[in-house]
A and B are shown apart, each in its own frame.
Chain A
Amino acid sequence: MTDRRAYLLMFVSVAAVWLLAVRLAGLPPLTLPPPSLVGQVLWDERATFAESALSTLSTALMGYAAANVIALALAIGALYLSWLEAFTTPWVVVLKNIPFVSLASLLIITMGSTILPRLIIVVLVCFHPLLANLNQGLKSADPVLVDRLRTLNGSRWEIFRHVLWPSALPYYLAAHEIAFTTSIVGAIVAEWFLSRQGLGHVLVKAMTEYRGDRIYAATLISSAMSFAAYWLCRWLGRRLTRWQRV
């Protein structure tokens, strides 16, 4: 419950600072809009915002799903194919260290404004924590326990199901808390670069038109989405690893 109070305190403080800043700064309303103006634009342009948010969310979700498939395939594959990890690690490390803004620029000039480059960007930003945590989780399995099941003639599948996967699960769930929200950020950045739709596009357009109210509105929506994603992952994660806290 103190958790909840801390969040409440934060929201109240942000609102207070915002109102205070609007009063004290004396900037024009479209540069630093008061909350009422942002509420107004959210309501007036609700159809556009909803459509944009949906578009961003679907890009994020698709990219996120793809990232999960790739990370799971690589992590589980590496358990049984010893060369796989050695082969993919350099790729993963190098890709992670190319600034993804450069990659985004590269993708737009080669692929243009289709959904594919946006998906690739989302995959690139959120796939790494998933893979790293899965790998670590699978390695955290108790080797003595694995040995014990081997003496019972447990099959690879049984050992995976009863030992390796339960060990990896808490790590994997923790990765979702990070990666799922990252996928939304990734989708917005991708749209910012190469799209005529989505919240990223709304942001670029609002910026060139000096529409502070729209920037704030888009920020609120994307933060809310990201926040909701975070809480959803946390809630699911806690349900699935309830045994850890009894």
Chain B
Amino acid sequence: MSKRFKAGPDILSRIHLAVAPGELVALVGASGCGKTTLLRMVAGLESTSDGTVEVLGTTAAKACALRQVGVAFQRAALVPSRTAVENVQLTLTITGKSSGHDPAQLLREFGLGDHLNAYPHQLSGGMQQRVNIAAALVHQPQILLLDEPLGALDEITRESMTEWLAGVLGRTRPTTLLVTHSVEEAVVLADRVVILSRYPGQIAYDLSVDLPRPRDIWGKPSEEFQATVRRVRSHLHAVLRATGL
């Protein structure tokens, strides 16, 4: 499918991407290449200009009605008048799901045990982002869309959150599209890394990551892991050079 806004040029062009159930695909590419737009289209928030988006065997908009979609956007989107735990709870309230994770427990695992009853304005950007991810996961959706979910986190928290995400995603295995700027993060988490080029956004490379799990890399990265990171990075750089960045 492809995407234009109004009469503008194609933002995304001839995107053909199939994600198998339970698969985790990482999307990487230069800023402005259309990663967020792609995610919004899968979430049913943006229409396609040509072609179709199929989610759970139906259209993207109808898939949301199944309440099987979880989204964490680039910028944390929390209700300012609700505490951290209430914000996570809201997902369960709206989807009407009583199963799923326990909001407080989830936040504790995210290292926010001391901030359960804090309001968003009392949390740092990285903390808000963690609440945002918790709110996307808490109802255990089959489809998970994460737009640079760890973007505002410091290196250390990022590493532990990546590990934690790998753990939770490994257990529940939602079908996941993950946008990230970090090649390491992509290689730790993903089954495939898709590299987008720019103007228009197209799939330049679709690289599979065949590394055994769990990929505990922060301690002692294996030879294979480092080789994969190098491979993805060199492809990414080739794409960036080709589009003039």
Contacts and interface: CB of A to CB of B under 8 A. Distances in A.
Interface of A: 142, 144-145, 147-154, 158, 162-163, 166-167, 169, 241, 243-244, 246
Q: Which of A144, A149, A154 has the most CB of B within 10 A?
A: A144
A158 B94 contact: yes
A153 B65 contact: yes
A2 B70 CA distance: 48
B146 interface: no
B67 A145 contact: no
Given A145-B79, A241-B81, A243-B81, A151 B43 contact: yes
B122 interface: yes
B93 to A, nearest CB: 8
Contact of B94 (A154, A166, A241): A154
A241 B65 CA distance: 33
B16 interface: no
A152 B89 CA distance: 13
B94 A149 contact: yes
B45 A151 contact: yes
9 contacts: A145-B78, A147-B40, A150-B45, A150-B64, A151-B71, A152-B95, A153-B67, A153-B95, A166-B82
B17 to A, nearest CB: 19
Contacts, number: 63
A158 B79 CA distance: 13
A152 B91 CA distance: 7
Contact of A144 (B70, B77, B91, B145): B77
Q: Which bucket holds chain B's interface residue count?
A: 20 to 34
Nearest to B132: A148
A68 to B, nearest CB: 21
A154 B66 CA distance: 11
Nearest to A167: B80
A166 B120 CA distance: 14
Contact of A243 (B40, B65, B80, B135): B80
Contacts of B45: 147, 150-151
B46 to A, nearest CB: 10
A142 B119 contact: no
A112 to B, nearest CB: 47
A162 B93 CA distance: 10
A186 B73 CA distance: 48
A147 B77 contact: yes
A150 B79 CA distance: 14
Nearest to A147: B45
Interface in B40-54: 40, 43-45
Contacts of B91: 152
B69 A151 contact: yes
B90 interface: yes
Contacts of A163: 79
Given A148-B71, A243-B119, A246-B119, A153 B94 contact: yes
B231 interface: no
A151 B143 CA distance: 11
B14 interface: no
